[in-house]
Amino acid sequence: MIDKTVGSVAEAVAGIRDGATIMIGGFGRAGQPVELIDALIAQGATDLTIINNNAGNGDVGLAALLAKKRVRKILCSFPRQHDSWVFDGLYRAGEIELELVPQGNLAERIRAAGAGIGAFFSPTGVGTQLAEGKELREIDGRTYALEYPIKADVALVGAYRADRWGNLVYRETARNFGPIMAAAATTTIVQVDEIVPLGALDPESVVTPGIFVDRVVAVGERGWLSDGAFAGGVDIEGRPLVRAGSPAEGNEVDQ
Amino acid sequence: MIDKTVGSVAEAVAGIRDGATIMIGGFGRAGQPVELIDALIAQGATDLTIINNNAGNGDVGLAALLAKKRVRKILCSFPRQHDSWVFDGLYRAGEIELELVPQGNLAERIRAAGAGIGAFFSPTGVGTQLAEGKELREIDGRTYALEYPIKADVALVGAYRADRWGNLVYRETARNFGPIMAAAATTTIVQVDEIVPLGALDPESVVTPGIFVDRVVAVGERGWLSDGAFAGGVDIEGRPLVRAGSPAEGNEVDQ
Amino acid sequence: MSATDSAPSATRITREQLAARIAQDIPEGSYVNLGIGAPTLVADYLPQDQEIILHTENGMLGMGPSPATGAVDPDLINAGKQPVTALPGSAYFHHADSFGMMRGGHLDVCVLGAFQVSQAGDLANWSTGAPGAIPAVGGAMDLAIGAKNVYVMTDLLTKTGESKLVEACTYPLTGVSCVTRVYTDHAVFDVTPEGFAVREAFGDNTIELLAELTGLELKPAETPGIPEEN
Amino acid sequence: MSATDSAPSATRITREQLAARIAQDIPEGSYVNLGIGAPTLVADYLPQDQEIILHTENGMLGMGPSPATGAVDPDLINAGKQPVTALPGSAYFHHADSFGMMRGGHLDVCVLGAFQVSQAGDLANWSTGAPGAIPAVGGAMDLAIGAKNVYVMTDLLTKTGESKLVEACTYPLTGVSCVTRVYTDHAVFDVTPEGFAVREAFGDNTIELLAELTGLELKPAETPGIPEEN
C-alpha cells in the first residue's frame, strides 16, 4: 500500500540537509506552509537557499526562518512589503543574498524545471536591469531573453486536502505556487488541513497528482473554516476577530 | 452580459476562412469535436492546415474533412492508425502534406503559443530524424533542441460542460489537447454536452477559464451518459451496443 | 507656446475621477488586470450593469469586491494581498498558468501605475534606482509586456513638479515600448509612433499647456475620444 | 565460443512469461508507463496486493484494467486508444502536463517495444525507414527520454533471425542513450557504459550462446538479479 502520509510535521521535514535549496509555496501568507516552516526551524537545517515569491511577512513562517539566520540566499520577486521588516533588516545588514526575478519568470522557470524544459525564451524583463547579461533573441519580430529552470532539493507546499497517494487540491488563491513547486523539487513535502480517503478526491479536480508528492502531513483545519465550510471571523492574517475596532490591516502597496 | 454561447454549430464555425490554420482537439475519438467538424465541412472553408494528434479515424469527424479534400497540410504525431484509411490514401496519392511532431513536443509547442513563450529547448527527439536541422544546445550536460510555438487561427475543442462566460470542464481523458489548444488559437470554438448556469461550475475545478474561449455551442449529451451519469451501452467508438456478437474493435497498435 | 506659471491655471481631476475616466474606456466583456495601488480604484467605477472580468495574477479570474469585515477569507486575496471575493463564473489557477495568460496576450487591458513613461511607450514603475533601496518587482514586468492594452494611471507631475511623461526614462525600466495610453490628472495621452498624442485634455487644459508642463512636443490624437479596439 | 546451430538449443520464454518477469522488477509505489503493444501485458502481472500507479500519456494517472463489455466509456482510453478504467486515487490532466510529467523525469519506469537497441542504449522503435511507409511517432520519443528507467520488452531476434541488440542502430532512432535494460525472450540485459551486460539468462542460455546470437561481446552484470533503485 502506498501511504505518503506522515504523522507529524517533524517527520515531514526530517532529513533536510544544511545547504539545501528549498522552495516554499505561498503568495504572501496565502498558501504559505507555516507549520512546515516552523518544523524546519525546529529541525535545524541552515545555510539554506529559499525560493518564494516574497521574503517573509511579519514575524511568522518564512520571516521567522529568516530571523533565525538560517537562510543564506533568497530568490523571489517581491521582498519589500509593509511587513517584511525581518528581511529588510538582514538585507541592509548584508546578511542575506537576494536574487530578484520577475514573478512570471519565477513561475515559468519553476514550471520548466518540473516539465523537463532545458531553457526558454521569455519576453518578460527584456530591456530592463533584470535581463542584463541574458542571451537575447528576436523571434517573429519580438525580443526574448533566455531563462533557465529553477529546481530545488525540497519543496514545502501548503495545500487543502490530500489522499494517501499524495493527490492534492488547494483552496482559492492559496493554490498559487503549490502545483509548480511540487513538480520542481526532488522531495516535495505538503501540509494539508485534512487527509481524505483514497477515492474521495474527484479525479477531474485533482490539481497536483500524487506523482509530484513525497510526504503529506495533516495540520488541522484552517481557522476560517468549520467542517469544510467558510466561517469567516478572522482578519487577513487569519487571526480571530476578537473585538470590534481591532487595528485594520495596512493597505500599503505590496505585490 | 457576456454570453459566448451560440445557438447552432453553423453559427459556431461561421467566418472560418479558406487557408486557415485550425487546431482540432481530441486524441483519436476521445474529445474530438465531431459536430463542429461536421459544421466546418458544411461551412465550406478549404485549403486548411490542421493540427491534431492524429489524422482522422474511420470516416467521421476529421477523416470526413480530409475525405472532402479540404485539408492542405496536417501537423500531428500519429497519423498511421488501423482506421486512418482516409489519410493514408491521400498521403500516398501526394494529396496532403504531413509534418510529424513527437507528441510531447506537439503539446508543449501548443502550450508555448498560449503562454507567450518565444521558443524552448526540449530534450525530446534529439539525435533523431525529427530534430534534424534544429538548433541544438547542451545545458547542464544534456542536449536539447530548440522548438517553436504552434499557434492557430481557430481551435475546435470538445469539452463537457460550459457556462456563458466560456468556462469549461472536460470528461476523463477526453480533456487531452483541449485546454492547451483553447489558449493557442485566435478564435476558440467549443462544443459541449450542456451549457450550465453561471456559477454552476466549481471555480476550483474549472479546467479552461473562459478567457480562452470565444464561442460555445451545446450539442446534447454524449450517448454513454444519461442525465450526467455514466450509462455505458456503447462500443469504444460510441456506437450503441445493439446486438451481442457485433464485431469487436480492432486492437491494432495505435498511439 | 508662451512661458507662463501654468500650475494655477491647469485643470486637475481627482484620482477617483481619473479612475472613472479609465473605467469608461473598458468595454463589456473585457478581461482586465488592475495593478496594485491606485489602479484598483478603477474597479469601483466599472458599470454595474456590465460584465467585465477581473484577473488577479496570483491566480484568479472573476474577482469580486472586498468582503465585509467578518467575512474576510485569507485564502482569497488579490495581488496586493488584500481580501477579495469570487463572483459566479470565477476560476482559480496556479501561478504559471496565470502568468502564461498574461504573457500570452490574453488580457485585454491592464492598468498600471508609473514613475515615468517615455514617448516610445517605455514604462518605469518598479524602482527609483535609489541607492540602498530594496528592489522588488513582483508581476509588474509581466503585466507591462503582457496585456493587449497597457494603460498607465498616474499624476502628470511628480510632487516636485517634474513631468512623468518624458523623452526617455531615467528610472530603471519595467518594460520597453509597452504602454498604449497614459491617463493622467491633466489629460489622456496615446502613445503613438510619433510620440505622445493628446486624446483628451481635461477642463480648460490645452495642448500648449500640456506641452509646457511636460516639455514635450505633443499633437492631438487622430481619433480623439474613440477607444481603440481591444 | 564454438559455432553451433544455436537456435534449437536456446531457451525462449513466452511473451506472458516475459511480462511477468518485467513486473517482478517494478517495486510497489512506482509510477509506470506501459507502452502500447506487448508492454501493456505487464499490467496483468503486477502483484495484486501492491499498489503500482499506471500513467497513460493521454492524460491520466491511476489507470485501471479494461472495463466489461457494456461498460466501455469512450472518454476513458489509454494511449493505445483502448478502453480502460479509473482506480480510486486517479487524476486527469491535459497533454502538456502529461508530457511535462514524462519529460521532467517523474516516471520511475516506462516499458517500450523495440526494433533495435544499441549497446550505447540507443533505441529504434518508431520507424523501419521503409520507403513509402507512413511515419508515425506518437509519444515514443518523449517516453524514451523521459522515464528514470527505460525498459525495453522485445524478442531478442527478429522473425528472420537477426539480433535486435546491435552495435549501432540501423533503423531511425527514437532516442539516444536512453535504454536502461532490455528484457528479451532469451535473457535480460543491462545497458552499461561498456555495452550490454547479461543480468539474467533464461533456462540453459549462456552468455556464450547470447553472444553468438547477438554477435556482440557480452559480460555478466555486476549485480545480477538485483533491481536498480528507482
In percent, the amount of chain A with pLDDT more than 70 equals 95
Q: What is the pLDDT of residue C224?
A: 55
Q: Flag if B173 and D139 touch (Cβ within 8 Å).
A: no
Q: What is the pLDDT of residue C132?
A: 81
Which listed residue (C16, C28, C51, C57) is catalytic? C57
Q: Which chains touch C (3 or more CB pairs under 8 A)?
A: A, B
Task: Give the mean model confidence (pLDDT) for residues B149-166.
Answer: 98
Per-window interface: D 21-50 vs A, CB < 8 A: 28-29, 31, 50
Q: What is the pLDDT of residue D9?
A: 77
Nearest-Cα distance to chain C for A8, in Å, is 23
Chains C and D touch (3+ CB pairs under 8 A): no
Task: Give the mean model confidence (pLDDT) for residues D44-50.
Answer: 95
C72 touches chain A (CB under 8 A): yes
Q: Flag if A116 and D104 touch (Cβ within 8 Å).
A: yes
First-residue to last-residue Cα distance in chain A: 43
As given in the structure block, the three cell numbers for residue D191 are 545497458
Q: What is the pLDDT of residue B243?
A: 58
**What's the order of all strands across the beta sheet hosting D165-166?**
D123-124, D116-118, D165-166
As given in the structure block, the three cell numbers for residue B118 are 518565444
A202 touches chain B (CB under 8 A): yes
Confidence bin at D2 (pLDDT 50/70/90): very low
Confidence bin at B86 (pLDDT 50/70/90): very high
Confidence bin at C8 (pLDDT 50/70/90): low
Q: What is the pLDDT of residue B247?
A: 47
Please compute Rg for chain A using Cα positions. Answer: 19
D36, D69, D174 member nearest B128 (Cβ)? D174
User: In this predicted model, what pLDDT tens digit does every residue of B29-41 receive, in sequence order?
Assistant: 899 999 999 999 9
Task: Give the mean model confidence (pLDDT) for residues B58-76.
Answer: 96
Q: Which of A105, A108, A110, A117 to mutate to test the interface with B (most CBs of B within 10 A)?
A: A117
Contacts of C61 in chain B (CB under 8 A): 209-211
Residue C61: closest C-alpha in chain B: B209
Average pLDDT, chain A: 94
Task: Give the mean model confidence (pLDDT) for residues D165-181.
Answer: 97
Maximum separation of any 2 CA atoms in chain B, in Å: 59
Contacts of D85 in chain A (CB under 8 A): none
Q: What is the pLDDT of residue D227?
A: 46
Question: DSSP assignment of A88-133, as one string?
Answer: HHHHHTT-SEEEE--HHHHHHHHHHHHHT--EEEE-TTTTSGGGTT
Q: Flag if A209 and D29 touch (Cβ within 8 Å).
A: no
B55-64, B200-209, D5-14, range with greatest mean pLDDT? B200-209
Nearest-Cα distance to chain D for A167, in Å, is 7
A139, A148, A170 member nearest B118 (Cβ)? A139
Confidence bin at D8 (pLDDT 50/70/90): low
CA angle at residue D45 from D43 to D48, to 5 degrees? 95
A91 touches chain C (CB under 8 A): yes
As given in the structure block, the three cell numbers for residue D198 are 547479461
| Strand C60-64 versus strand C85-92 pairing type | antiparallel
Say which residue the cell 540485459 belongs to: D189
Say which residue the cell 480517503 belongs to: A197
Containing C125, the helix (H) or strand (E) segment is none
Confidence bin at C131 (pLDDT 50/70/90): confident
Q: What is the pLDDT of residue B250?
A: 41
Domains of chain B in start order, with CATH, are 9-101+150-220 (3.40.1080.10), 224-255 (no CATH)
Exposure b/e, D3-35, CB count within 10 A at least 16 = b: eeebeeebebbeeeebbbbbbebbeebbbbbbb
Q: Assess whether pLDDT exceeds 50 at residue C217.
A: yes
C92, C102, C141 member nearest A130 (Cβ)? C141
Q: What is the pLDDT of residue A244?
A: 52
In this structure, of A87-91, C1-5, C20-24, the range with the lowest mean pLDDT score is C1-5
Question: For this structure, is D162 an active site residue?
Answer: no
Nearest-Cα distance to chain A for C209, in Å, is 32
Q: What is the pLDDT of residue C24?
A: 96
Average pLDDT, chain D: 93
A112, A116, A142 member nearest B118 (Cβ)? A142
Confidence bin at C130 (pLDDT 50/70/90): confident
3-state class of C23 per DSSP?
helix
Task: Give the mean model confidence (pLDDT) for residues A128-142.
Answer: 97
Question: DSSP assignment of chain D, as one string?
Answer: ------GGG-----HHHHHHHHHHTS-TT-EEEEPSSGGGGGGGGS-TTS--EEEETTTEEEEE-PPPTT---TTSB-TTS-B-EEEEEEEE--HHHHHHHHHTT--SEEEE--SEEETT--EE-S----TTPPP--TTHHHHHHHSSEEEEEE-SB-TTS-BSEESS--SPPSBSS---EEEESSEEEEEETTEEEEEEE-TT--HHHHHHHHTS--EE-SSTT-PPP-
Q: Flag if B206 and C101 touch (Cβ within 8 Å).
A: no
CA angle at residue C189 from C186 to C194, to 5 degrees? 140
Cα separation, A24 vs D198, whole angstroms: 45
ipTM of the complex: 0.94
C87 touches chain A (CB under 8 A): no
Task: Give the mean model confidence (pLDDT) for residues B127-132.
Answer: 97
B91 touches chain D (CB under 8 A): yes
CA angle at residue A113 from A109 to A115, to 5 degrees? 110
Task: Give the mean model confidence (pLDDT) for residues C123-143.
Answer: 92
Q: Flag if A183 and D91 touch (Cβ within 8 Å).
A: no
Contacts of B183 in chain C (CB under 8 A): 100-101, 104, 106
Task: Give the mean model confidence (pLDDT) for residues D65-86.
Answer: 96
B144 touches chain A (CB under 8 A): yes
User: Nearest CA to C99 among B207, A255, A146, A104?
Assistant: A104
Which listed residue (D16, D28, D51, D57) is catalytic? D57
Q: Which of C32, C50, C90, C178 to mutate to test the interface with B (most CBs of B within 10 A)?
A: C90
Q: What is the pLDDT of residue A81?
A: 86
Confidence bin at C4 (pLDDT 50/70/90): very low
Task: Give the mean model confidence (pLDDT) for residues D148-159.
Answer: 97
Task: Give the mean model confidence (pLDDT) for residues D77-90.
Answer: 96
Q: Which of B81, B105, B124, B192 to mutate to test the interface with D (most CBs of D within 10 A)?
A: B124
A206 touches chain D (CB under 8 A): yes
Q: Assess whether pLDDT exceeds 70 at residue A247.
A: no
User: Nearest CA to A171 among A123, A209, A222?
Assistant: A222
3-state class of C75 per DSSP?
coil
